[in-house]
Each structure stands twice: as C-alpha cells, then as structure tokens.
Structure 1
Amino acid sequence: MADSKFIERYRTLFVSQLEAKSKKTDPENLYEPITYMLELGGKRLRPILTLMTAEVFGGSADEAMDAALAVEMFHNFSLVHDDIMDDAPLRRGKTTVHEKWDLNTGILSGDAMLILAYQFFESYPPETFKELTTLFSKTALEVCEGQQYDIDFETREDVTIPEYIKMIEYKTSVLVAAAMKMGATVAKASNKEADAVYEFGRNLGIAFQLQDDYLDAFGNPNTFGKQVGGDIIENKKTFLYLSSMEKGSKEQQESLLHLYSIKPKNPNAKVQAVKSIFQECGAVEATKTEIKSFTHRAFDTLDMMKISKTNKKVLRQFGENLMQRTV
C-alpha cells in the first residue's frame, strides 16, 4: 500500500542515493549552494513517483534511480531560478540560494544543476537514454514556457481560466507526469501504458498546483514552508483571483484590480483584504471544485490502465495522500 511507511521507504532510498551521487566539492562556491539546495528537503514527490511507477510496471527502484535523481536535480534547478525571478526570501522555510550567497551564484549553480540532471541519464543503454532524454528535454522546455506564461500574466489584465490551467500544466504538472512516465519507460512498459501514467500524473499535477495556490492564500504558515500570501503580494493571477474576477460583483472586481496594482511596504492588510474578496465571491469554493475535478480525471485514467488491482491501489492511495498533503 502507498501508506506513509511505503512512501518513506522510497524517500529514504532516494535521499541516500542523492547524497552519495551529488557530492562534488570543488569549486566550493559552485557546489556548496547545490548541496544546500538539495538538503533543504521537501517532499521528494517527483523522484518518489519515478521509483514507485517503475515498480508498478514490474521494474525496480534501483533501475529507475538515476532517472529519479535527474528529475529531482532539474526540479531544484528550476526552484533556484524561480526564486531569483520572484525575489523570494524563503524556500521551504530557509533562506533562498541567491539570498544566502548572491545573484550570480544562484544563476551559475542553477545552470550546473541543469547539466548535472542530464548527466544522470548517461547510465542507461542507448535506446532507453534516447527515450528518457527526449521526454526530459520536451518537459524542460515546457517548464520554461510555463514560467514565461506566469511572468506574462503578471502584467496582463485579460488572462482567462483556460490559459491559467495551461500555465500551471506546463510550469508544474508536466514534470510530475514525466517523472511517472520515466519510471514506466525504465520498466519497459508499453507506450500505451506509459502514456496513460503520464496522463494520470498530468491531471494529478494540475490538481496539486491548484491546491498549492489555495494553500498559498489559506494555508497554515507553520506547515506550508513558504510565505503565506506570497502570490497575493506578488500580484499573481491565480485560480482564486481569476475566479473572483469572473464571479465577483463590479465593486469586488474593482477592489481586486486596485489591490493588485499596489505594492505596499506592509503587505498584510492587502493580503487580508484580497482573501476576504476570494471568500465572499465564491472563488474559494470554485477552486476546491476544480481541484476535485482534476483529481477525479487522474483516477479515471488510472481505472483504465492495465495493471494489477494492487498496483492501481498503490497509485490511487498516493494520489489521495498527495491531495490531503500527507506526503
């Protein structure tokens, strides 16, 4: 079962390999920030999915380990650069790399992480290497496209909900989907099954990101690990914001537009005012409904996959745990 012990087994296995295989020390100012970033922890969600999916399709976690390491290294690279772009002070409750060192270190160490991610694939035989790197390059480019959409949306007043869903699909969920498909590829699953597990991951990833948006505004600051209200402070047009603009009264829409046009020195009052509008106009309920919708789509895809009931249960339970944020 995908209970906490089961997840912990993968996590422990992965972290020991991550520590063993990412110990480069010289030059110190290049590699120390990488080690620091990787040791910040996090849920290790994506690499756990790679290892789990490989076993679900009859492969082994050991075979999938280098693909899992590539996924986690890439994910952390993207976070280092995202934090620079967002000028974020905290990541997982700790000082961000560019704040702890400096901007140039953040850029260069991030670049090195991207290259290290590709090197992990070199252990695979040629045919598997080609499949993995082709998927990885496609995914990496989509993540960059998603990040650009995210930046563009900050200065646009006409962002639609479908555009927003596409942005979070590219920025977040394609990497979850690719992490799972890589596990299936290493285990030599059929193309049809590998594509199906990709769809499962893609829909679950969108649900996960929508929930992240919700928690950014309404999460517990002690457990969320990021600055609560960060998206509001950054004027990010999340699903909550877009739903409010769609559902709210003219007065609520005008208030939101005003609040999203200012950057006060003390942002707490702005965060509280925006959250009140989100609640009053039904955006909170709409967001919860959308989260459920994408979670159900993921499970519908899972139901159609030709794997054992036990393995379906493993993936379903993982999805349920994920959406309850217990992993």
Structure 2
Amino acid sequence: MEYLESRRSRIEDRLEEVLDAVEPPELADQVRHVSLSGGKRVRPMVTVLACEAAGGTTADAVDFAVGIELVHNASLVVDDIIDDSELRRGVDAAWTAFGYGPAILASDGLLGEAFALFSADEQAMQVVAEAMVELGEGEATELVAQPSTEEEYMTLARRKTGALFRAAAELGAVAAGADAYTVESFGNYAERVGVAFQIRDDVLDETADPEELGKPTGQDEEMERPSLVQITDLTPEEANERAYARADAALEALETATVTRDGNAQALEYLQDLAEFVVLRER
C-alpha cells in the first residue's frame, strides 16, 4: 500500500497546489470544496499507473492525473444539479453549498484549470477533447433518450463513465511516450473498467447503506435514471455478473499493451487489481 499511497500523495499535493492558485478567492473556495471533499482518486491513479507501466514516472504523469480529476469533478457538479442530489461524498453538493450559479462557475473553473494542465501537449488535448465529447453525448442521451435495452445502457455507460477512464489511461501512456498501439490498449482496458465501475454503482444504489456510501441510495429509481438493474430487471447479483464480465475484458485488453523493459511491473499489477476492485467495492 505504501506504493499507492506515495503516488496518491503526489497527486493530492499537486491538486492542492493547482487549486490554491485559483483566483478570485471566492472561486478558489468553491473549487476546493468540490475537489478536496474526498473521492477515491481512481482516475488520476489510473493515469499514473498507466504511465509507469508504459515506462514513465509519476513526475511525468502527475499534471495529467490532476487534470483528469478536475474534469471528473467538474462533471460531478453538473450531475448533482441534474439529479437534484444534495450530497456528494458525504458533504453538501456544490449547488447545495453555494447555489446553482456559483456551482456552475465552479465547474467551469475546474475545466479551465484542467485544460491549462493539458495545453502543452497536443495529443493530451485531443484525448481529453474526445472524452468530453463522449461525456456530453452521454449526459444528453440520459436526459432526452434514455436507454431501454441492455445494449443501449452499455453505450451510455461507455460514454458517461468509460470515456473518462479511457482518457485517464491514455493520458498516462501519452505521458510515458508510448506508441499509438499501447495508448489504445491502455484506453480499451480503462474504458471497460469504467463500464464495470458504472454497473457496480447501479448495484450499490440498490443495495448499499447510504451512510457507508456517502450519498443517498435509491436515486436511480426515484429520478427515473437509467440503471442496468432498472432497465433490464436483472437482480443486483446478475448485474454484478455483467460487471465481472467487463472487468475480465479489461484484463484481456491490458494483456495486449506493449510494456517495455523500463515498464514498472508493480504498476501493471495494480492496474490488474483495479479491474477486480471496481466490482467488489462497497462505496
């Protein structure tokens, strides 16, 4: 665990450094509330681990890691407004704490800081821009054309959750200077992990204790939000089986990545562990 904690600490330190520089102070308070109120930091850890597995270092990847976390946090602000969710990670959602206008400004501020971190690398900008397009299409689809079949659900999950996971891993490979095939392999791995993560979220919304989860449960049904369990009438156990299948597919994609002799074998092992963790987590 020391290996992971040291990298998480680097991410947290750089995240705080970026947020501390935000102006004016009122905006800084809002973006800090959103980004420093907890979170598993799964996506930035994927960026760092993918970079190290592909032969790079934590230092090579940390700015991209922080950037993808900021993009993710910006999307959560909007999600909470759309879903009318008052809590996020056990504390007030941004719109609850500051109001709708300031919350939207906080989301914009987070995106601005994120793209400043990506701006020096054209390939990184392209990766994130493509993910943002997918994410936007997913959000719009959820609002106006909700899925009614398992296949449609999987497409939505790939756009809403898988796209940012894909970007996180591809950014890590880009930071390591990996070839295009390796970048794509890491991206395929992470996209499938992201879909498994989303399915597990659906299951937790059905089965978890709200206090342990850090947010209200039963929201999918109450908000008529597309959930694999709600759409297909699968039991939570059966839905989990779908998540396991996606996790297995992620591991298959990871095996196709070209990892050089300089690649960190421990980082690769933790990426493998992540594919198993996302379907076992309880929050």
Same fold (TM over 0.5): yes
1:114 aligns with 2:111: yes
Query: Which sections of structure 2, spanning at least 5 residues, go unmatched?
Result: none
Measure how far apart 1:237 and its partner are. Answer: 2.6
Whole-angstrom distance in 2 between the partners of 1:231 and 1:34: 27
Query: Counterparts of 1:182-261 in structure 2 under 5 Å?
Result: 182-244=171-233
The correspondence for 2:241, drawn from 289, 294, 307, is 289
Q: CA RMSD in A?
A: 1.8
So what's the TM-score if we normalise by structure 1? Answer: 0.81
Residue 5 of structure 2 is aligned with which of 8, 11, 27?
8
Displacement of 1:223 in angstroms is: 2.0
Q: 1:226 to 1:189 in 2, by over 3 A?
A: same
Structure-2 separation of matches of 1:133 and 1:42: 24
Deviation, structure 1 residue 153: 4.1
* Cα separation, 1, equivalents of 2:206 and 2:9: 31
Q: How does 1:92-103 map to 2 (within 5 A)?
A: 92-103=89-100
Whether 1:133 aligns to 2:125 is yes
Q: 1:318 aligns with which of 270, 274, 277?
A: 274
Is residue 58–residue 187 contact of structure 1 (8 Å, CA) maintained in 2? Answer: yes
Distance of 2:270 and 2:84 partners within structure 1: 38
Q: Which has the larger radius of gyration?
A: 1
Q: TM (normalized to structure 2)?
A: 0.93
SS in 1 for 2:108: helix
Tell me if the contact between 2:208 and 2:282 (Cα under 8 Å) persists in the aligned partners: no
- Give, as a single letter, the amino acid of the residue that structure 1 aligns with 2:269: K
Which structure 1 segments of 5+ residues have no match? 245-281
Matching of residues 11-160 of structure 1 within 5 Å: 11-24=8-21, 26-122=23-119, 124=120, 129-153=121-145, 159-160=148-149
Partner of 1:236: helix, strand, or coil? coil
1:199-250 deviation per Cα after TM superposition (whole angstroms, max 9, x unaligned): 0001111011000110011112222111111112111131001111xxxxxx
Distance across 1 between alignment mates of 2:21 and 2:257: 41
Q: Residue 78 of structure 1 contacts residue 110 of structure 1 at CA under 8 Å; is this kept in 2?
A: yes
Percent identity between matched residues is 27
SS of 2:276's partner is helix
- In structure 1, the partner of 2:258 is 306
Q: Secondary structure at the match of 1:22?
A: helix
Q: Which stretches of structure 1, 4 residues or more, deviate above 6 A after TM superposition?
A: none
- Listed one character per residue, the Cα deviations across residues 79-102 of structure 1 (whole Å, up to 9, x for unaligned) are 111111111100001111111111
One-letter identity of the residue aligned with 1:172: T
AA aligned to 2:84 is: D
Alpha-carbon distance between aligned partners in 2 of 1:238 and 1:322, rounded to the nearest angstrom? 17
After superposition, the C-alpha distances for 1:134-167 in whole angstroms (9 at most, x for unaligned) are: 111110111111111111245xxx7221111111
**Matched residues in 1 for 2:166 and 2:21: separation?**
29
Aligned length: 279
Structure 2 SS opposite 1:108: helix
**Equivalent position amino acid for 2:71 in 1:** F
Write the distance in 2 (CA, Å) between the matches of 1:223 and 1:326.
Answer: 8
Shift of 1:105: 0.5
Contact between 2:162 and 2:192, CA under 8 Å: does it hold in 1?
A: yes
CA gap 1:100/1:110 in 2 versus in 1, 3 angstroms: same
Contact kept, 8 Å, 2:202 with 2:228, in 1: the verdict is yes
Q: CA distance change for structure 1 residues 26 and 178 in 2, over 3 Å: closer, same or farther?
A: closer
Q: SS at the partner of 1:315?
A: helix
Alignment CA distance shift 1:323-1:7 (3 Å): farther
Q: What CA distance in whole angstroms lies between the structure 1 residues aligned with 2:60 and 2:71?
A: 19
Counterpart Cα distance in 1 of 2:99 and 2:272: 42
CA distance in structure 2 between the partners assigned to 1:136 and 1:178 by the alignment: 6
3-state DSSP class of the match of 1:226?
coil
Contact kept in structure 2, 1:153 and 1:236, CA below 8 Å? no
Conservation of the 8 A alpha-carbon contact between 1:168 and 1:209: yes
